[in-house]
Amino acid sequence: MPELPEVEVVRRGLARWIGGRTVAGAEVLHPRAIRRHVAGAGDFADRLRGTAVTDVRRRGKYLWLPLGDEFALLAHLGMSGQLLVQPERTPDEKHLRIRITFTDLARGELRFVDQRTFGGLSLHPLDPAGLPDVISHIARDPLDEDFDEDAFHVALRRRRTTVKRALLDQSLISGVGNIYADEALWRARLHYERPTAGLSRRGTAELVTHVREVMTAALAVGGTSFDSLYVNVNGESGYFSRALDVYGREGEPCRRCGTAVRRRPWMNRSSYFCPRCQRVPRLPVR
DNA sequence: GGAAGCTCCTGAAAGC
DNA sequence: TGCTTTCAGGAGCTTC
């Protein structure tokens, strides 16, 4: 599942292989993949044709390719999205949704492949800060040098919610998904139901540090791949799944204390934690 | 307005 | 063997 490290790996690959190239055409093979582009497939292709990719940027789990100064191609990988740079003669992938070709054919085409179609591509105007307007509500991510830790702490204290919900709220801190939330909380020895209103300034700082550390470690080995659903632009998997401490390790011993890791259903997904290192808060928020 | 829950989607794995 | 159910989860939308 692509979270910040995986998206950053893709961003770096796109910058290398797509940066500076001019779009020759676009083919939309599944309408759901451009559902956020409300003007439809024809408009999507017409507006892309002839534009040049001037940069490849990221905020949290969103990627965008500025196409001049006024608008950008926005991408979100969702659960299973892949942006692949493939030689044009490569057979189509089973779940190929969008194909973008460039004027220099020999350097390959860009393919958006997405099994579950939670992700997609769309075109949007850039706001004065250079951000696609539809993601202006997305907070800076913890690897962004301008991430405001004090403001994050104040926001946490104001919320009547729990710490994992807050970590997954992209308007508070972006780039964190279920895997790295569980990993960071394990490192910080915090239970996922801990109320944010009770976090100390030091507690917030430690949590953010653990989020940064786990993401940086994942980035260093190409991200986390459990199956073929996350790969970089060359179709290669990452290796961080081998280094996960709690996520996906139900019943296995905690790497710190040896207690069996537990999995609990949580918000239509799962939370993994060590019941000894991460004690249940006495007064959970209702 | 804030917080919580629902829904979209596909395919692998488990259960029968 | 084959059918059904469960599970995975990001984020927009709806409900309270």
Environment class of A71 (CB within 10 Å of its CB; exposed 0-12, middle 13-18, buried 19+): middle
Q: Is the CB of A94 under 7 A from strand B?
A: yes
User: In the predicted model, is pLDDT for residue A226 greater than 80?
Assistant: no
Query: Domain residue spans in chain A?
Result: 4-135, 149-273
pLDDT tens per residue, range A86-108: 998 999 988 899 999 999 999 99
Active site residues of A: 2-3, 61, 269
Report, in ranges, which bases of strand C sit under 7 Å from a protein C-beta: 7-12
Q: Give me the mean pLDDT over the A173-187 stretch.
A: 93
Q: Which residue has the tokens 């962004």?
A: A144
Question: A109 by DSSP, 3-state: which?
Answer: strand
Environment class of A133 (CB within 10 Å of its CB; exposed 0-12, middle 13-18, buried 19+): middle
Which token pair is A114? Answer: 């997405």
3-state DSSP percent of chain A in helix, strand and coil, to 5:
30, 20, 50
Environment class of A123 (CB within 10 Å of its CB; exposed 0-12, middle 13-18, buried 19+): buried
User: In the predicted model, is pLDDT for residue A1 greater than 90?
Assistant: no
Phi-psi region of A40 (alpha: psi -120 to 50; beta: other; left: phi over 0): left
Footprint of strand C on the protein (CB under 7 A): A 1, 3, 60-62, 76, 78-79, 116, 118, 134-135, 168, 170, 177-179, 247, 263, 265, 268-270
Question: What is the fold of A4-135?
Answer: N-terminal domain of MutM-like DNA repair proteins (3.20.190)
- Model confidence at A52, pLDDT cuts 50, 70, 90, reads very high
Give the per-residue pLDDT at A284.
Answer: 44
**When comparing pLDDT for A280 and A18, which is higher?**
A18
Give the per-residue pLDDT at A227.
Answer: 59
- Structural domain A149-273, CATH architecture: Orthogonal Bundle (1.10)
- Spanning CA of A129 to C1' of C5, the rounded length in angstroms is 48
Which token pair is A55? Answer: 């940069």
Question: A251 by DSSP, 3-state: which?
Answer: coil
pLDDT tens per residue, range A121-151: 999 999 988 999 999 989 999 999 999 999 9
